[in-house]
Amino acid sequence: MYSFEYEYPVKVFFGEGSVAEKLTSQLDVLGGRILLTYGGSSAKKNGTLDEVLSLIRAAGKSVVEFSGIMPNPTWKKVQEGAELARKEKVTGVLALGGGSVIDASKIIALQAVNTASVWDVEINRKGSLDHPALPLGAIVTASGTGSEMNGGAVITNEEEKIKTGLFAPAARFAFLDYHFMESLPARQVLSGAFDTLSHALETYLGRSDELNVSDDVSLAVMKNTVDNIHRIVRDIHDKEARGNLMWDSAMAENGILKVGRVTDFEVHMIEHQFGAYTDCNHGEGLAVIQPVYCTHVLDAALSKLARFARVVFAVSEADDRTAAEKGISALYDLISEMGLPHRLSQLRMKDSADVLLTDETLRRVADSTFLLAGGPRKLTSDEVFQILRECM
């Protein structure tokens, strides 16, 4: 393993009922005037918004609501939230939602106290940020991204047609209370679970020495994710399975799997850019691209994919190539079992996406995809284009 330094800033509260029991004890971290961020109408319909609002008010805090954060949060929406935070002079931010809400909230908390554009500073390398972010807390209502565990935030700049990661301080505290996942539809639970699987697999496929701790833990997280996916498919109301998937998601993105090694994450880069053009569901996009990518890097990742197949899918073949190929086939079977798509054309996308799925657009996606060097081998833009065509 490579040398590393590791520090974990997030205080985690896990378990059913943890929000009701412990949230008020953490709110002083956010100060007296809190910006409560959330997505669409589901938080209102299922009662989670009222539940959280009552706890905040019972703690003597005032609340400013910011709603409408979309599944692929945009830079425009982030700016809107930051402007509201400045106008209302909030002292902290509490995110109520899944990865998209938490991602947007991280950048809102940072942008609210800085005049320079976070996007310009981090992406265009213009200017500098002079102030630390507002303190942030998170209540997870949809697991999969692990955003509550780190300082990364995926934001889409619609004008520049770029979907990429920005960075801000991580949440001070996070609640993983599977009571807040009870009303999620099955497809959302499962697409999030595939995102978790992809996070762990892409970390595992990065460069590392043999028999290292990170690989072993990655394999364990992947196996547990797949085992609990089977349980959720059988019974979407299985609370234990939902709880396990929440912690699998957290483990995949809290940094533990990534220490002492280089990571891959090329599949995420491809899906991000495809999503910038189509606004597709992230987990479903990964489900389409991941197995095709694994086939393309098979020779360079043969021993790792063979071990993945044996540990995660109980493939018994002794020959590495046969085992690896059967592991990719098992991944396809899992995606079918989950009811997720196998083709880009099957994805849930914005209304105009049907006219975007042309070679010309796929070429633009490929040419704008970040090409990373941490995987089994570095792809070219031409190969990304070929992967996208094979995913059609």
Full DSSP string of 79-128: HHHHHHHHHHT-SEEEEEESHHHHHHHHHHHHHTT-SS-HHHHHTS--S-
Per-residue confidence band for 45, with pLDDT thresholds at 50, 70 and 90: confident
In the chain, ranges of CATH 1.20.1090.10 domains: 187-391
Q: Write out pLDDT tens, residues 194-205.
A: 999 999 999 999
pLDDT at 236 exceeding the cut of 60: yes
Tokens linked to 326: 């059967």
Q: Write out pLDDT tens, residues 59-79.
A: 999 999 999 999 999 999 999
Tokens linked to 310: 């044996």
In the chain, ranges of CATH 3.40.50.1970 domains: 11-181
- At 356 the pLDDT is 65
- Pairwise CA distance, residues 186 & 369, whole Å: 30
- At 46 the pLDDT is 82
Per-residue confidence band for 349, with pLDDT thresholds at 50, 70 and 90: confident
pLDDT at 39 exceeding the cut of 90: yes
Backbone angle region of 314, left / alpha / beta, with phi > 0 → left and psi within -120 to 50 → alpha = left
| 174-213 core/surface letters (b: 16 or more CB in 10 A; e: else) | bbbbbbbbeebeebbbbbbbbbbbbbbbbbbbbebeeeee
Structural fold of domain 187-391: Dehydroquinate synthase-like, alpha domain (1.20.1090)
CATH architecture of the domain with residue range 11-181: 3-Layer(aba) Sandwich (3.40)
Query: What percent of the chain lies above the pLDDT cut of 70?
Result: 98
- At 43 the pLDDT is 81
pLDDT at 354 exceeding the cut of 80: no
What is the rounded average pLDDT of the residues 296-320? 97
pLDDT at 353 exceeding the cut of 60: no
Contacts of 23 (CB under 8 A, 6+ apart): 52, 55, 56, 139, 175
Per-residue confidence band for 181, with pLDDT thresholds at 50, 70 and 90: confident
Q: Write out pLDDT tens, residues 308-318.
A: 999 999 999 99
- For residue 326, the SS3 value is helix
pLDDT at 82 exceeding the cut of 60: yes
- At 148 the pLDDT is 96
φ, ψ (nearest 5 deg) of residue 46: -90, 0
- At 351 the pLDDT is 58
Give DSSP secondary structure letters for 153-169: EEEEETTTTEEEEEE-P
Q: Write out pLDDT tens, residues 105-138.
A: 999 999 999 999 999 999 999 999 999 999 999 9
What is the rounded average pLDDT of the residues 257-285? 94
What is the rounded average pLDDT of the residues 239-248? 95
Query: Closest Cα to residue 231, out of 193, 202, 196?
Result: 193
- Name the CA radius of gyration of the chain, rounded: 20
Per-residue confidence band for 183, with pLDDT thresholds at 50, 70 and 90: confident
Per-residue confidence band for 182, with pLDDT thresholds at 50, 70 and 90: confident
- Pairwise CA distance, residues 66 & 53, whole Å: 13
Which of the pair, 352 or 24, is modelled with greater confidence?
A: 24
pLDDT at 4 exceeding the cut of 90: no
- At 210 the pLDDT is 77
The mean pLDDT value of the chain amounts to: 94
- Pairwise CA distance, residues 7 & 253, whole Å: 13
Query: Closest Cα to residue 180, out of 191, 189, 170?
Result: 189
